[in-house]
Structures are given as C-alpha cells and as structure tokens.
Amino acid sequence: MAAYKARLKAFEDNLNNEKIDLKILRKLCFNGCPYEHGYRSTCWKFVYIIGDISICINFAGYILLNYLPLDVSQWKEILQKQRKLYTHFVDEMIVEPGTKASAGSQVDDHPLNPNPDSNWGAFFKDNDMLLQIDKDCRRLCPDLFFFQKATEYPCKEIIHADSRVETLRKRVEHCVLQSESLQVDRFGKSNMRATRRKASEEYMLLPDGQEAHWEVVERILFIYAKLNPGQGYVQGMNEILGPIYYTFASDPRSECKEFAEADSFFCFTNLMAEIRDIFIKTLDFDVECGIGSMMTKFSDKLKDKDEFLYNRIQELDLKPQFYAFRWLTLLLSQEFPLPDVLRIWDSLFADENRFNFLICICCAMLMVVRDEILNEDFPTVMKLVQNFQTSKIDLHLILSKAVDIR
C-alpha cells in the first residue's frame, strides 16, 4: 500500500509541473498508470511536441497517443480547438446528411437519382460500411456492461426530441436484412450462431433520448472511415478504439468524460497513423511491411530467445497466422480481460519502440506456457494459444518476461 501511494504521489508531482518531464512520465506509465484521479486518461493523451523540443531529452519517436503537449499551459487552447473540429465533423458527416435524408432532401434529389453528386448516392454508398461498423460495435466487450449503458454526454444534436436527424443506428435498422449469410472475418471468426436470436434481442435499444456508449464508438469509427476513404473501416478497429474510449469515458472528472468522444477520435486517429499498415489486407503476407512483417519479426524473436520452443512450434506446424495474427493486429485486446488490456497498453504506449515490445509480450506469452506446448498435442496447443484468456496466467509474470526478452 505504501509503495502504491508513493506511485500516486510520483504521478501527481510530475503532472502538476508546468512542463512534464517526458523521461519520468514514460517510466511511470510503463510500470502502469493508476486509475485514480484520471491519471491513465491524462497520460495516454501525451505527447504532442510543439515549439522547443529541448524539453524532451533523448526523445525518439512518439510515445503514448500524441495528443497533448508536455507544456501544460497549452492544453486548454489545443483541446478547445480539437474538440471544436470534431463537432464540425459530426455536423458535416452525420447531422446534416441525416437531416436531409429524413426530410427527403431537395425536391430534385431522390433515392433513385442517378446523378453522382446526389446526396442519396453518398448516403447509400456508406451503408455497407456502416452495417459492419454497427455489427462490430454492438458486440464490443460483451462481458462488460459499460458499452451497453447510456452515456451521460450523448450528442444532443442527434438525440434531441426535436431533432430530425436519422441516427446511424436507425439507418442500420432501416436497411438491415432479416436473412444472414455465413461469413468469416480476417481473424478466422464466423458469424454463425448456434441459435439465431430474434430481431428484438439482436437490437435491444435504450429509450429515445439516450445513447449507449457503443453508439458513440460507432459514430467515431464512421467519421474516421469517412475521413480516410482510402482505408475506410476494417474489422478489428473497434477493438482498438474500445479500450481508448473506455479509458476516457471512465475518467472520474466530468470535464474529461464530457469530451471523451472527441478526445478518443483524435487519439485513435494518431494510433492508427502508426498501425494502419496492419489493417491493409493486401499486406497480410508481405514480409517487408504490414502484419506479415510483424509475424516474421515475432517468429525470429522467438527463435532467438528460445530456439527449442521455436522448433517445437515448427514441429507442430503451429503457424503464427493461427494465433499471432490476431495478437499483433489487435494489440492483444482480445486475449485478456479489459483491465489487463489497459495495463498492457500502459507499457505499449509508453515504450519508445512500442511494436517491438508488443512482439516481446507475444513471445513471453508462449514462453510462460512453454511446458504445455512442449508436452501437448496440436489440438490442445492450438486451443491454448487461441484462447489465452482462459489460461489465467498472471499478467505481471508475462510483462516481466517481456522486459527480460527486450
């Protein structure tokens, strides 16, 4: 308890300075950000370098989510500017199109208008993408009730009783089909269910005037996809955004929770700028870049640190595509309970070479179950690595091992 109080005091002292000491901040965050006083929410938003970079001794690349500068005096101006910009995105891409669609748009514009500049044309073009975003966001962190709860700060322009805006959720409900075909996503998961749920259960909604947290995540992803048409939305992005939004929306300070949506959008955008190659499907098997390159580095690292274990995995023909593909692409967000994911991301975001450390964590995960891999058959080992969360291994043991590997 005394050590934990000392850590809280260290965070408090560093964050109360006019200029944050990056070296101290990185070390503190790497060892875990406390939830108290919104320290994790605040720390994840660093570090945006403007002006004199001399305050960042030995700075090498971005750390954390690159949103706030180390100079505390600049926070207010930057936050106001970014949050205003996000409000503009919502108005331009959701409120205005939603109003036109619900009102029937202009007299000379209609759903069958062949004009490529038709508002309806863009509206329908977005629907396929929106259907996938909606499906993924509804099932975000199913073991956690948080995303099904109503947010305290919904988008008033959309949910207001007098609003004529068709929400993203309503757009999906209007165009969703009752039938469903079997599909397999990039991570090998199918959409087949043992029992098909009724429509009323599939789309259980909050009362009018309320907005669930998953709907906020849906809106962020939709706007991100609209602003990045070359990439659009790719399955798995919801798993990257979810923990970020949860962290900001769970901040105990109301002034931070109120703008969790805007802040999450920009932090997610900054993170995606670093990992966007991972979500480009054409690079899945490229050994030079994208997820293909990361899986190659992962295999090489494991061979270097534990060649006997590496050879056993080769003998079993347990290819990294079977398990490490998801581990690396989703930054381990589906392999551990959310509190553990947040702790892992503290270290990842704080590390100067975060994706090399991610590879070290993945190697550590295999090494802590080394005995099972060496002694069990292929089906047992496959089940183990594809359902790592059920192994109940101490996360601190994995992180400690990852540090040793690094």
pLDDT band at 259 (very low <50, low <70, confident <90, very high): very high
Amino acid occupying residue 388:
F
Asked if pLDDT for residue 7 goes beyond 70, the answer is: yes
Domain ranges within the chain, ordered by starting residue: 2-70, 74-276, 280-405
Rounded distance between C-alpha atoms, residue 383 and residue 363, angstroms: 17
Average pLDDT over residues 328-344: 95
For residue range 381-398, list pLDDT tens digits in order: 999 999 987 777 889 999
- State the fold for domain 280-405: Cyclin A; domain 1 (1.10.472)
- Tokens standing for residue 54: 């001399």
Q: Shortest CA distance to 44 belongs to which of 276, 354, 254? A: 354
For residue 352, the model assigns a pLDDT of 83
Residue-wise DSSP of 103-169: HT--TT--TT---TT-HHHHHHHHHHHHHHHHHHHHTSSTT-GGGGSBPSS--HHHHSTT--PPPHH
Please say if the pLDDT value at position 283 is more than 80: no
Q: Place 177 in a pLDDT band, splitting at 50, 70 and 90.
A: very low
Give the CB-side neighbour count of residue 207, counting CA atoms within 13 A. Answer: 1
Residue 212: both structure tokens together? 């669930």
SS3 assignment, position 282: helix
Percent of the chain with pLDDT over 90: 56
- Least confident among 2-11, 96-105, 130-139, 203-212: 96-105
- Say whether pLDDT at 174 is over 80: no
The per-residue pLDDT of the chain, averaged, comes to 84
Q: What pTM did the predictor assign?
A: 0.87
pLDDT score, position 112: 52
Number of Cβ atoms within 10 Å of the Cβ of 373: 18
Q: Tell me the pLDDT tens digit for each residue of 73-83.
A: 999 999 999 99
40-74, pLDDT tens digit by residue? 999 999 876 554 433 333 333 456 899 998 888 99
